[in-house]
Structure 1
Amino acid sequence: MFIGVLLADGVAGREALTMLVAQYRVERPNLLVGAIPGLIPVALLAVTLVVLRRLAARPPPMTAIAWGGLLPIIAMLVWGHLQYWPLYLPERVAPGFPHGLELVIVPVVFAPVAMIVGVIAAWLMARR
């Protein structure tokens, strides 16, 4: 998302890569630390798939359920990053409160809820 926003704002490719490397070195907002909350809904999806496989008398179609949960997670994470990075880039000046919370609230609250809805919808559609 970081590079995509830079390129959309007209920053040259080489300069965008330089800014990306520089962004990994700063304390706030560090791209590596910002990506860690995005793993929470994916881990929750993995746990959900394992639990469904173990508890179901007849194993449900796991591929459909996995995609049903993963696609809403990806959509939510992309939406959250698109809310923050265009405000931050290309000047690299952190916007004030409440901006930046998108990078935490979306993966911790919105993405798991969307994942649950997607898993249920995929399970119901696969049962037909």
Structure 2
Amino acid sequence: MEVLSSRILVRPSDPGRSRRFYQDVMGLAVYREFGPAEDPGLVFFLGQGFLELSGRSDGVPGRTFAIWLQVRDLSAEHERLSAAGVRVTRSPRREPWGLVEMWIEDPDGTPIVLVEIPDDHPLRRDQRRSVPG
């Protein structure tokens, strides 16, 4: 599998408390903010990777985090991983936020989301304004 980028996903029981902890206490720099202004998801820089706080935990121990892996061809990975007997908990589908996602689990049940960024998604484009030369 060719992984293009990765991050750790945290589904906190109290998103506001966790945002304050990682941003204000830990001092992590924000890479990206998304979703509603009153309850945004945040992605923090984490060395060579990222830490994303989004959604909310259902309170089940061990289900407050997941691994996020961006891949080039999600259909090919779905076929390959299914053939290898990997448990697919959610088949590939385009999400309302525009990414194509598939969820699997590792042998211990750790959730792993595999993501393909479609060509027409804003993450594929340089969002900076060009500076007149």
| TM-score normalised per structure 2 | 0.23
- Larger Rg belongs to: 1
| TM-score normalised per structure 1 | 0.24
More strand by share: 2
